[in-house]
Amino acid sequence: MLYPTYTRRSDPFALMRSMLRDFDRASPGHVTQPVFPAVNVWQGDEAVAITAELPGVDPADIDISVKENVLTLSGERKAPEVPEGARWHRNERGFGRFARSVRLPFVAAEDKVEARMTNGVLRIVIGRLEEDKPRKIEIKAA
Amino acid sequence: MTNDVTHTADKTPAETPETTTGRRIYRPLTDIVETADGVTLTLEMPGVAAEDVDITLEKRVLTIRGKVHAMQPEKLQLAYAEYGEGDFERAFTMSDDFDPDKIGAQVSNGVLTLTLPRAADAQPKKITVTAS
């Protein structure tokens, strides 16, 4: 790798930092792993909906919490019990604990959060606080 | 099977001819476990209800299809998407010692579990050797 020494000559640590960055990128732990669960966000004037695919997760194992404008989704996907002496042919699915936070575009009205799970797809609808909604300002004729 | 943070394997499109509507067809992630009595397949098909699953076994090819009903919350527009919606399809070539009438299928929380018991006459028989 080539490290240009002429840039930022006033900063003696610039070279070191740039080398460290390259190490970070090369180390296997730094590979950006896709986060679980993948979410889709739907937006409207008065509400936001978040849908997530959580196949194989029991609705009882999901925790949803909303604090101001951050929604946190956490839980566990339990590994299936495999009888003894079984032989794995394929193992593509993942299991374990997960946690994910989503920042909402507004402060959530805590009593207007509704979550529903159908066929492994979770859907959370979050309403907006009444006093937080944009108000139309009328222009008075002079 | 550790307690690590669950990863999302990216949804991969199935290797099927493209659809006329332009909808994607995805390949469901599958776990396959073999025991002495048969084979169990576990397929992830989020959004697929039990009545929308179609399973066929023809000439040793087991084809699994799942129809997804698009989920669009009322009055809301999609603002950010990390996953795509689409039907699921995947096929496996099986060994021919399964009894097609005894295949069991069950859907729960978007996961299809298929149990294929081995045909009775294909069960390995243990032959005892007697000393003369």
pLDDT (0 to 100) of residue B30: 92
Integer Cα distance of B132 and B78 in angstroms: 78
C-beta atoms of B75 and A44 within 8 A: yes
C-beta atoms of A77 and B6 within 8 A: yes
Could you give the C-alpha distances from A28 to A24, A131, B3, in angstroms and in order?
A: 8, 48, 20
- Site from A93, A106, A112 to mutate, B interface, most B CB atoms within 10 angstroms: A93
Q: In B, which residues are within 8 Å of A82 by CB distance?
A: 33
How does pLDDT run across B34-59, given as a tens digit for each residue? 888 888 999 999 999 999 999 998 88
Beta carbons within 8 Å of B15's beta carbon, 6+ residues apart: B27
Residue B114: pLDDT band with limits 50, 70, 90: very high
C-beta atoms of B30 and A90 within 8 A: yes
Q: Taking a contact as any Cβ pair under 8 Å apart, which residues of chain B between 19 and 38 contact chain A?
A: 29-36
pLDDT (0 to 100) of residue B1: 37
pLDDT (0 to 100) of residue B32: 92
> B94-101 — which CB contacts under 8 Å span 24+ positions?
B94/B39, B94/B57, B94/B60, B94/B61, B94/B62, B95/B60, B96/B60, B97/B122, B98/B38, B98/B39, B98/B57, B100/B57
C-beta atoms of A42 and B9 within 8 A: no
- Strand order of the β-sheet with B86-93 is B12-13, B24-27, B86-93, B61-66, B53-58
Residue B6: pLDDT band with limits 50, 70, 90: low
C-beta atoms of B73 and A85 within 8 A: no
Which of A40, A79, A92 shows the shortest C-beta gap to B29? A92
Is cis: bond before A37, omega within 30 of 0?
Answer: yes
List chain A pLDDT tens, one digit each, 142 residues. 555 555 555 666 777 777 777 766 655 554 455 678 888 999 888 889 999 999 989 999 999 998 888 999 999 988 888 888 888 888 888 888 999 998 888 888 888 889 999 999 999 999 888 777 777 888 998 7
Integer Cα distance of B82 and B79 in angstroms: 10
